[in-house]
Amino acid sequence: MKDSAVLLITCPDQKGLVAAVSGELYRFGANIIHADQHRDHDEGLFFMRVEWTLSDEDGQPFDIQAFSNAFTPIAQNFRMDSQLHVSAVKPRVAIFVSQHLHCLADLLHRHQMGELDCEIPLIISNHTDGEPLARFYGIQFHHIALTAATRPENEAKQIVLLEAAGVELVVLARYMQILSPEFVRRYPYRVINVHHSFLPAFIGARPYHAAYKRGVKLIGATSHYVTEELDDGPIIEQDVARISHRDQVDDLIAKGRDLERMVLSRAVAWHLDRRILRYGNKTVIFD
């Protein structure tokens, strides 16, 4: 829906939650087009996603600000952590990439086809390989080389670019650099990475080589939110492919590229569609 609003809720599980939310939306005349909920019985937590149109059949607009004001005391009463998003406000996304361009190319193509509802104002890379691709799609490309000695200075340059562009989400499309804790804290759970293994197996560098050496029969890829601990953030999506003793490292890498593209694009799309709720080191992904 291009003219809709989404309400995301996390709170302690208790009676009356669904009635309170749906009742208030009904009071404001909302036409709910999608609603989903989940309970984590072990944690005693309730999660909910509700989407509704911002105009009715007669073209009358939904007063989103009045609803937000009226919903505040309800959220406080039920101890809700709530997020209210309007689809007309497109998130601004920056893509970080190094030399492997398959995920970048996939994201840019999906964006051009309308599958990713966002703005992509810039691409940042520590190599120049992706510049022709960025130019083809009409997106600003910034080459910022990184070394151990220049990392703080050059990360500061990256942050200046992101802030100037109003970036909400950073996507690491095979960006082969470790972000500093300071960078991660600036964008909490707003950095999505793709790792070329089925986490938690084979963290760190060269996971396909490690998988080949171990003789696994399945390889995988994982998209996750970035935290200060390497490859340990909340997992958003994973997928696998079967391999055999005939496959060499190059075969694993080739098969893995398709997995990487798929899990990253799904994770980004779900984040943009406001379908993800995070708690602890887990995620709830609504249909």
Fold of 4-86: Alpha-Beta Plaits (3.30.70)
For the stretch 53-111, pLDDT in tens is 997 666 678 999 999 999 999 999 999 999 999 998 999 999 999 999 999 999 999 99
The reported pLDDT for the residue numbered 204 is: 86
For tokens 């003219």, what's the residue? 3
Choose the catalytic residue: 3, 117, 129, 231.
231
The reported pLDDT for the residue numbered 147 is: 84
The question of whether 251 is a catalytic residue gets the answer no
Q: Which residue in 159, 154, 238, 250 sits closest to 193, CA to CA?
A: 238
The reported pLDDT for the residue numbered 181 is: 94
Alpha carbon dihedral 217, 220, 226, 232, in 10-degree steps, equals -20
What's the CATH class of domain 92-285? Answer: alpha beta
The reported pLDDT for the residue numbered 2 is: 67
Yes or no: say if 257 and 276 are a contact pair by the CB < 8 Å rule: no
pLDDT averaged over every residue in the chain: 95
Distance separating alpha carbons of residues 84 and 82, to the nearest angstrom: 7
Q: What is the mean pLDDT of residues 162-173?
A: 98
Distance separating alpha carbons of residues 225 and 30, to the nearest angstrom: 32
For the cut 60, the answer to whether the pLDDT of residue 1 exceeds it is no
The dihedral built from the CA positions of residue 198, 201, 206 and 208, taken in this order, carries a sign that is negative
The reported pLDDT for the residue numbered 60 is: 78
For the cut 80, the answer to whether the pLDDT of residue 128 exceeds it is yes
Give the up-direction half-sphere exposure of residue 175: CA atoms within 13 A in the CB hemisphere: 26
For the stretch 28-48, pLDDT in tens is 999 999 999 999 999 999 999
pTM, whole model, 2 decimals?
0.94
Q: Which residue in 211, 168, 207 sits closest to 187, CA to CA?
A: 168
The dihedral built from the CA positions of residue 9, 14, 16 and 19, taken in this order, carries a sign that is positive
User: Domain extents for the chain?
Assistant: 4-86, 92-285
